[in-house]
Amino acid sequence: MSAGEFTFYLLSAVILIFSVMAVSSRKLLRAAIYLLFVLVSVAVFYLILDYLFLAAVQVVVYMGGILVLIIFSILLTSHLAERLPVVPTWTVIVTSITTIIGAGVVLSILYEQKLIASLGKAGTYDVETIGKSLLSYEKLGYVLPFEVISILLLAALVAAIVIAKKPKGSKSIEQ
């Protein structure tokens, strides 16, 4: 097989195996680490598709931000030796049947389509183009979502602070 195929199969195997382990692990911290591996694989995937900026954003935001947050919260809310409860068999069966059916539906539609890769030349994805696109207000400019996202992030920031603030005079978890 060619290099491209080998890389892709390896990458998809990593993604799928580690995501299964992330959702079925009994130790919470290990689940978080498996998630880390999944995120890394996705970043690699972006790399082999020539989306360099996106890969960088993925690493920085997801792994450096979200995952760190998740690990902090795991450490804050559970003890390291705690094992998550076993899922009842009935739930497992029902849920797996549902997901398999769902996956079947989507895949059946997918395989009916004739998706032919376009033979056009790839566009440029350097940072300058991306930056200009983000702030342009011509057609296919993204200035509106950009501004909206900035407001959203502000709102999320305020919300997180307000919600996680310790209320006055209440018991903290140290006591």
Partner 1 sequence: MNAYDYTLWIFVLPFLSFVITGLLKGRIKASLTGLIATSVIGISTVLSYLTAYKYFIVNKSTPYVAVEAMSTTWLRFSQMDVDFGILLDPISVMMLVVITTVSFMVHIYSTGYMKGDPGYSRYFSFLSLFSFSMLGLVISTNLIQMYIFWELVGVSSFLLIGYYYQKPSAVAAAKKAFIVTRFADFGFLVGILILSNYAGTFNFIDLTDPNGILITQPIGASFMGISVLVWALILIFMGGAGKSAMFPFHIWLPDAMEGPTPVSALIHAATMVVAGVYLVARMFPVFSLGAPEALGVVAFIGAFTSLFAAIIATTQRDIKKILAYSTISQIGYMMLALGVSGYGGEQGLGFTASMFHLFTHAFFKALLFLGAGSIIHAVHTNYMDEMGGLRKHMPATHITFLIACLAISGIPPLAGFFSKDEILVAAYQSNMTYFLVEYLVAGLTSFYMFRLYFRVFWNKEPAYKHTPHESPNSMVIPMVILSLGAAFTGFIHFSGFVTSDGAAFDSHIHWNIAIAAIAIAIIGIGVAWKLYASSSDLSSRISKSLGAIYTVAKDKFYIDEVYIFITKKIIFNLVSRPIAWFDRHIVDGTMNLIGNGTVAISYRIRKFQSGNLHQYAFMFGVGVLIATAIYLYFITA
Partner 2 sequence: MIEDISLTQILTVSTLMFFIGVYGFLTRKNMISMLISVEIMLNAVNINFVAVNKYLHPQALEGHFFTLFIIAIAAAEAAVAIAIFINLYRSINSIDVDDVTEMKY
Binding residues for partner 1, per CB under 8 A?
Answer: 95, 98, 101-102, 105, 109
Instruction: For residues 127 and 133, give the distance between their C-alpha atoms in angstroms, rounded to a whole number.
Output: 10
Find which of partner 2, partner 1, none residue 134 binds, CB within 5 to 8 Å per kind: partner 2
Regarding 81 and contact with partner 2 (CB under 8 A), the answer is: no
Burial class (CB in 10 A: 0-12, 13-18, 19+), 83: exposed
Q: Considering the rule CB under 8 A, would residue 130 count as an interface residue with partner 2? A: yes
CB of 166 to partner 2, least distance (A): 8
- Span 34-73, contacts to partner 2 by CB under 8 A: 35, 38-39, 42, 45-46, 48-51, 54, 57-58, 61-62, 65-66, 69-70, 72-73
Among partner 1, partner 2, none, partner that 153 touches (CB below 5 to 8 angstroms by kind)? partner 2
Residue 82 corresponds to which tokens in the numbers above?
A: 């705690």
Residue 33 to residue 131: CA distance in whole angstroms: 32
**Residue 4 CB partners (closer than 8 Å, separation 6+):** 48
